[in-house]
């Protein structure tokens, strides 16, 4: 239960760090980005890893775990490529600096979307575990 709260906190901090950096492109924005990124990463990455490994371990007895790991890495890499493609697309469609601001805000919002998905997944996973015990 605590990991979801830390995950939400980390996502909010990381979202704010990138948004502030692109909206306030000066030394203050850079300092805020550096500090908040350093603080927010452990709150986001550690729960993400735990949730991801729990999800993979749920299927380890029935399926090939190597395929799950490959699909996890593939999904992460596709997300990175799509994020960069989004930035390039907006750079062609909008003028500077608006293109970067819009693209970064949209790309950064996926941390918040991922949190809501993980929260929903964990709720359903906990319900299934509780039903198996009963």
Q: Which pLDDT value is given to residue 24?
A: 92
Q: Is the dihedral of CA 60, 66, 71, 72 positive or negative?
A: positive
Q: What is the pLDDT of residue 14?
A: 94
The residue among 15, 4, 82, 17 whose CA lies nearest residue 48 is: 4
What global pTM score does this model have? 0.82
pLDDT of residue 11: 94
Q: How many residues does the chain have?
A: 134
pLDDT at residue number 134: 62
CA nearest neighbour of 128 among 58, 63, 71: 58
CB atoms within 10 A of CB 51: 19
Per-residue pLDDT of the chain (134 residues; tens, 9 = 90+): 688 889 999 999 999 999 999 999 899 999 999 999 999 999 999 988 888 888 888 877 788 888 888 888 999 999 999 989 988 999 999 998 888 899 989 999 999 998 888 888 888 887 887 777 76
Q: For residue 134, give Cα distances in angstroms to 11, 55, 125, 129.
A: 34, 21, 15, 9
Angle between helices 98-133 and 27-58 (to 10 degrees): 30
Q: Are 9 and 36 in contact (CB under 8 A)?
A: no
CA 8, 108, 57 angle in degrees (round to 5)? 50
13 alpha carbon, distance to own chain's centre: 11
């Amino acid at each position: 239960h605590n990991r979801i709260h830390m995950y939400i906190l980390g996502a909010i901090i990381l979202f704010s760090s990138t948004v502030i950096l692109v909206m306030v492109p000066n030394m203050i924005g850079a300092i805020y980005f550096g500090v908040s990124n350093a603080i927010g990463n452990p709150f986001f990455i550690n729960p993400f890893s735990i949730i991801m490994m729990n999800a993979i371990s749920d299927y380890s007895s029935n399926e090939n775990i190597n395929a799950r790991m490959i699909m996890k890495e593939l999904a992460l890499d596709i997300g990175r490529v799509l994020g960069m493609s989004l930035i390039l697309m907006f750079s062609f469609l909008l003028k500077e600096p608006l293109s970067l601001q819009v693209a970064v805000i949209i790309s950064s919002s996926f941390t918040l979307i991922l949190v809501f998905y993980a929260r929903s997944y964990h709720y359903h996973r906990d319900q299934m575990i509780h039903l198996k015990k009963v």
